[in-house]
Structure 1
Amino acid sequence: MLTKVIFASCLVFWINYFAVILAEDPNMTRALELMSEVPLIDGHNDLPWQFRKKFNNELNKVDLHTLETTHTNIPKIKQGRLGAQFWSAYVPCETQDKDAVRQTLEQIDVVHRMCQKYPETFMFATSSKDIMDAFSMNKTASLIGVEGGHSIDSSLGTLRMMYQLGVRYLTLTHSCNTPWADNWLVDTGSEPSQHNGLSPFGKQLIVEMNRLGMLIDLAHVTVTVMNQVLDMSEAPVIFSHSSAYSICPHKRNVPDDVLRRVNETRGIVMVNFYNDYVTCSKTAKLKDVADHFDHIKKVAGASIIGFGGDYDGVTRVPEGLEDVSKVPGLVAELLRRGWTDEEVKAALGNNLLRVLAEVEKVRDSLKAKTPDDVPIPYDEVKNPCRTSIGYANTGDLHSLSTLVILLAAALQACVTA
Structure 2
Amino acid sequence: MRLITRCAVTAVLATSAVVPALAQSTSAAASPREVSGVVEAPLARARALMKDVPLIDGHNDLPWAMREGTRYDFDKVDIAKSQPQLMTDIPRIRAGHLGGQFWSVYVPATLQGDAAVSATLEQVDAVYEMLRRYPETFALARTAADVERAFKDGKVASMIGVEGGHSIDSSLGTLRMFSRLGARYMTLAYGTDLPWAGAAGEDTQGLSPFGQEVVREMNRLGMLVDLSHTSTRTMADALRVTQAPVIFSHSSARAVCDVPRNVPDDILRQLPRNGGVVMVTFVPGFISEDAAAASRRTQAQVAQFLTQFPDNPAARQQALVEWRTSNPEPRATLAQVADHIDHIRTVAGIDHLGLGGDFDGITSVVQGLEDVSTYPALVAELLRRGYSDTDVRKILGLNVLRVMRRAEEVATRLQGAGAPSIKTIDQLDGVARKGQPVTPAR
1:167 is matched with 183
Scaled by the length of structure 2, the TM-score of the pair is 0.80
2:202 is matched with 186
Please, which of 254, 259, 274 is the counterpart of residue 250 of structure 1? 259
Q: Please state if 1:304 is matched with 2:352.
A: yes
Cα offset, 1:98, TM superposition: 5.0
Q: Quick one: distance in 2 between partners of 1:113 and 1:275? A: 30
* Compared CA separation, residues 376 and 284, structure 1 to 2 (3 A): same
CA contact (8 A) 1:40 1:82 kept: yes
CA contact (8 A) 2:426 2:439 kept: no
Residue deviations 1:357-412, cap 9 Å, x none? Answer: 000000011122100011110852354xx234xx655x23xxxxxxxxxxxxxxxx
Output the amino acid matched with 1:269.
V
User: SS of the residue aligned with 2:59?
Assistant: strand
Cα offset, 1:298, TM superposition: 1.1
Please, which of 157, 160, 173 is the counterpart of residue 173 of structure 2? 157
Give aligned-pair identity as a percent. Answer: 49
Please, which of 91, 101, 125 is the counterpart of residue 109 of structure 1? 125
Cα offset, 1:262, TM superposition: 1.2
Residue deviations 1:111-130, cap 9 Å, x none? Answer: 01101100011111111001
User: SS of the residue aligned with 1:306?
Assistant: strand
User: SS of the residue aligned with 2:268?
Assistant: helix
Q: Quick one: distance in 2 between partners of 1:153 and 1:392? A: 16
Q: Quick one: distance in 1 between partners of 2:289 and 2:406? A: 34
Q: Please state if 1:370 is matched with 2:386.
A: no
User: SS of the residue aligned with 2:113?
Assistant: coil
Q: Please state if 1:381 is matched with 2:432.
A: yes
Scaled by the length of structure 1, the TM-score of the pair is 0.85
Output the amino acid matched with 2:245.
P
Cα offset, 1:86, TM superposition: 0.1
1:65 is matched with 80
Cα offset, 1:314, TM superposition: 0.7
Please, which of 366, 369, 379 is the counterpart of residue 321 of structure 1? 369
Q: Quick one: distance in 1 between partners of 2:390 and 2:40? A: 20
2:283 is matched with 274
Cα offset, 1:207, TM superposition: 0.8
2:140 is matched with 124
User: SS of the residue aligned with 2:193?
Assistant: coil
Output the amino acid matched with 2:221.
L
Output the amino acid matched with 2:403.
V
Residue deviations 1:298-352, cap 9 Å, x none? Answer: 1111100000001000111111101010010000000000001100000000000
Q: Quick one: distance in 1 between partners of 2:135 and 2:420? A: 34
Cα offset, 1:65, TM superposition: 2.1
CA contact (8 A) 1:179 1:381 kept: no
Q: Quick one: distance in 1 between partners of 2:387 and 2:245? A: 24
Residue deviations 1:40-83, cap 9 Å, x none? Answer: 00000000000111011223332002222111000000000000
Residue deviations 1:244-273, cap 9 Å, x none? Answer: 011101110001111110122110000010
- Give the unaligned 5+ runs of structure 1: 1-23, 188-192, 397-417
Output the amino acid matched with 2:419.
T
Q: Please state if 1:350 is matched with 2:365.
A: no
Q: Quick one: distance in 2 between partners of 1:365 and 1:325? A: 39
Q: Quick one: distance in 2 between partners of 1:32 and 1:250? A: 32
Query: Considering only aligned residues, what root-mean-square deviation do their CA atoms show, in Å?
Result: 1.6
Please, which of 92, 102, 113 is the counterpart of residue 108 of structure 2? 92
Q: Please state if 1:83 is matched with 2:99.
A: yes
Q: Quick one: distance in 2 between partners of 1:55 and 1:25? A: 43
* Compared CA separation, residues 375 and 319, structure 1 to 2 (3 A): same
Cα offset, 1:281, TM superposition: 2.9
Cα offset, 1:97, TM superposition: 3.2
Residue deviations 1:194-247, cap 9 Å, x none? Answer: xx3111110111111111110000001111111111111100000000000111
Q: Quick one: distance in 2 between partners of 1:392 and 1:238? A: 34
1:143 is matched with 159
Cα offset, 1:183, TM superposition: 0.4
User: SS of the residue aligned with 1:130?
Assistant: helix
Q: Quick one: distance in 1 between partners of 2:431 and 2:73? A: 36
2:233 is matched with 224
The structure carrying a bigger helix percent of its residues is 1
* Compared CA separation, residues 348 and 298, structure 1 to 2 (3 A): same
* Compared CA separation, residues 392 and 228, structure 1 to 2 (3 A): closer
Output the amino acid matched with 1:214.
M
1:233 is matched with 242
Cα offset, 1:25, TM superposition: 6.6
Q: Quick one: distance in 1 between partners of 2:379 and 2:165? A: 32
User: SS of the residue aligned with 1:185?
Assistant: coil
Output the amino acid matched with 1:202.
G
Please, which of 33, 52, 60 is the counterpart of residue 67 of structure 2? 52
